[in-house]
């Protein structure tokens, strides 16, 4: 099972519904048969870090990552991923694709299949 560390910003100026996007992300991963556990506290076993920033200021980017700095990090900045603007409705599926691509082991084959199917 993939352990995804979720970090939310303080929510001072959200452009998006951060919690709803994470809930839809869980559904997307389940649809793609990727068992994932979302953790909200630091744990020893974390595979991917998801930074959920409510706006483009991306305050979580400015905070230092402790144990997480050696892990793959996916950052959502309001209605943007990796600097590319997208509608809120599209974000969960795109996040799921990124997580599947970064997941270790045999899940990589499913990631490639998911990418082809979703284009």
Per-residue pLDDT, averaged over 39-53, amounts to 89
Which CATH number does 2-118 carry? 3.40.50
Q: Any idea where the domains of the chain sit in the sequence?
A: 2-118
Which range is most confident: 14-28, 44-58, 91-105? 14-28
pTM given for the model: 0.81
- Residue 43 contacts residue 3 (beta carbons within 8 Å): yes
- Residue 49 contacts residue 71 (beta carbons within 8 Å): yes
């Amino acid at each position: 099972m993939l352990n995804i560390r979720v970090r939310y910003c303080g929510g001072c100026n959200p452009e998006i519904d951060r919690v709803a996007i994470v809930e839809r992300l869980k559904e997307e991963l389940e649809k793609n048969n990727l068992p994932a556990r979302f953790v909200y506290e630091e744990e020893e076993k974390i595979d991917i870090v998801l930074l959920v920033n409510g706006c483009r200021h991306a305050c979580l980017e400015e905070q230092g990552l402790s144990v997480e700095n050696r892990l793959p990090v996916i950052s959502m900045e309001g209605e943007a991923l990796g600097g590319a603007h997208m509608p809120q409705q599209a974000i969960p599926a795109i996040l799921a694709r990124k997580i599947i691509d970064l997941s270790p082991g045999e899940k990589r084959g499913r990631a490639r299949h998911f990418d082809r199917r979703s284009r």
